[in-house]
Chain A
Amino acid sequence: RKEVEQDPGPFNVPEGATVAFNCTYSNSASQSFFWYRQDCRKEPKLLMSVYSSGNEDGRFTAQLNRASQYISLLIRDSKLSDSATYLCVVNGGGSYIPTFGRGTSLIVHP
């Protein structure tokens, strides 16, 4: 089993839709979690951290489920500009090595 797994997609949704991605991780000792966004042929950029209590930033909501070992990202009212690859990152568990998932591709169409 891979340390961090994501459905590569693509998720193809119309503008205005709500879409959710999950990311599972295998190391139960993991301590910090993040979502990054990566546009085609660009570098990853931090979208948001994921806290135990969950967090929301505008149209984006991230949640952590430690019992089932997954994090989620919910995007409401999708915009064309949300089209990108969303990478989850899991860190900790005794090392400084952040582990990236392979990313989930989102395509928002008119």
Chain B
Amino acid sequence: DAGVTQSPTHLIKTRGQQVTLRCSPKSGHDTVSWYQQALGQGPQFIFQYYEEEERQRGNFPDRFSGHQFPNYSSELNVNALLLGDSALYLCASSFSGTGGSGEQFFGPGTRLTVL
């Protein structure tokens, strides 16, 4: 049973560029959440996708956008990259049947460095 997978594992971009990160949820899960984790901090919620729609959004600018596909996989897009966007980006999946209880399974993350 494959867990949550993310690609790529590492990425280096320059300011102003755009990036797309990808996530495949754990088998049987239909909800995908994205988090940004800066060094020494806890993960910060970006948004959550369910039934191909953004269900909730954290305090992140519109430069951060996402998408969920019919097979439940998801993408996170970040436009006009800033130095401060350098972080570990985590994808977490869960099953909606838990009622959004928060029990999530995380992927290994994508480490983004913006130069």
A interface residue numbers (CB < 8 A to B): 4, 6, 8, 31-32, 34, 42-46, 49, 87, 89, 91-92, 95-103
Contacts and interface: CB of A to CB of B under 8 A. Distances in A.
Given A87-B42, A102-B42, A103-B42, A44 B58 contact: no
Contacts of A43: 90, 106-109
Nearest to B96: A96
B23 to A, nearest CB: 12
Contact of B108 (A8, A42, A91): A42
B56 A97 contact: yes
A34 B103 contact: yes
A22 B25 CA distance: 31
Contacts of B63: none
Given A43-B90, A44-B90, A98 B40 contact: no
B106 A32 contact: no
Q: Tell me what chain B mostly uses at the interface: helix, strand, loop, or mixed.
A: loop
A71 to B, nearest CB: 13
Contacts of B105: 46
Contacts, number: 57
What 10 A-B pairs have minimum CB-CB distances, sorted nearest first?
A91-B102, A100-B42, A43-B106, A96-B100, A98-B102, A102-B42, A96-B56, A32-B101, A100-B43, A32-B102
Interface of B: 33, 35, 40-45, 48, 55-56, 58, 90, 100-109
A91 B100 contact: yes
Nearest to B107: A43
B45 A102 contact: no
Contact of B58 (A6, A34, A89, A97): A97
Contacts of A4: 42
B74 to A, nearest CB: 15
